[in-house]
Amino acid sequence: MKVIAFNGSAHKEGNTAILLNLVLDELKAEGIETELYSLAGKPVQGCIACFKCFEKKDQRCAVEKDIINECIRKMVEADGILLGSPTYFADVSASMKALIERCGMVGRANADLYKRKVGAAVVALRRAGGIHVFNSLNYFFSINAMIIPGSSYWNLGIGRAPGEVAGDAEGVQTMKDLGKNMAWLMKKIGKPA
């Protein structure tokens, strides 16, 4: 089994990456293969609403110039998907929004490509707006017929400068508990039918 984690932060190794890695470490400890994919430095554009994905139904986005088709492939091949985003003006980063729009639309155009995979959100924030980011990320999972595990709190970690989130003991524990619950759920479900 495999989990792919997408980091929507502009910092490849910032707070969002730290939080995602805490979840991935728990998954690895349970024997689940993991991959962390950073969107930092990789320009991605939002959905252009051409709806070619509904015409072709080839599991691809018609906009071929960026990394989105690579991301779709990684999602399809994984059994679990983590979406991690920093809080930018009380919402997901623009890169994460582009990923959500395009991977989400191709998923819907192709008979729910990510159906019954396990999905979870991870959010870094400095002060406020993180719960809105958490909700925005969860909308991706629920409209794509995916299954969401819980944790011991909502999946938020508090920190400003890269690295600071490691000092948020409750946030760290929340990520570890999320990783354990995600592994438990994935093993119960097995390979999605």
Ligand X SMILES: Cc1cc2nc3c(=O)[nH]c(=O)nc-3n(C[C@H](O)[C@H](O)[C@H](O)COP(=O)(O)O)c2cc1C
Comparing every residue's Cβ against ligand X, the nearest one is: 14
Task: Kindly tell me which of 71 and 124 has the beta carbon lying closer to ligand X.
Answer: 124
Nearer to ligand X, 87 or 138 (CB): 87
Q: How far is the C-alpha of 193 from the C-alpha of 190, rounded, in Å? A: 9
Q: How far is the CB of 43 from ligand X (least distance, A)?
A: 16
Instruction: Using only the alpha carbons of the chain, give its radius of gyration.
Output: 16
Residues lying near ligand X in the complex (CB under 6 A) are found at 9-11, 14-16, 86-90, 124-129, 159-160, 162, 165
- Residue 77, classed as helix, strand or coil, is helix
Measured from the CB atom, is 122 or 186 closer to ligand X?
Answer: 122
Calpha distance 141→192 (Å, rounded): 14
d(CA 43, CA 65): 10
Q: How far is the CB of 39 from ligand X (least distance, A)?
A: 11
Nearest by Cα to 46 from 124, 109, 101: 101
Which strands sit side by side in the sheet containing 33-38, from one edge to the other? 33-38, 2-7, 80-86, 118-125, 156-158
Rounded to a whole number of angstroms, the minimum distance from the CB of residue 112 to ligand X is 30
User: Which is nearer to ligand X, 167 or 190 (by Cβ)?
Assistant: 167
Residue 146 backbone dihedrals phi, psi, to 5 degrees: -95, 175
Query: Which C-beta is closer to ligand X: that of 119 or that of 157?
Result: 157
Closest approach, Cβ 122 to ligand X, in A, equals 10
Q: In the complex, what is the shortest distance from the CB of residue 155 to ligand X, in angstroms, rounded to a whole number?
A: 14
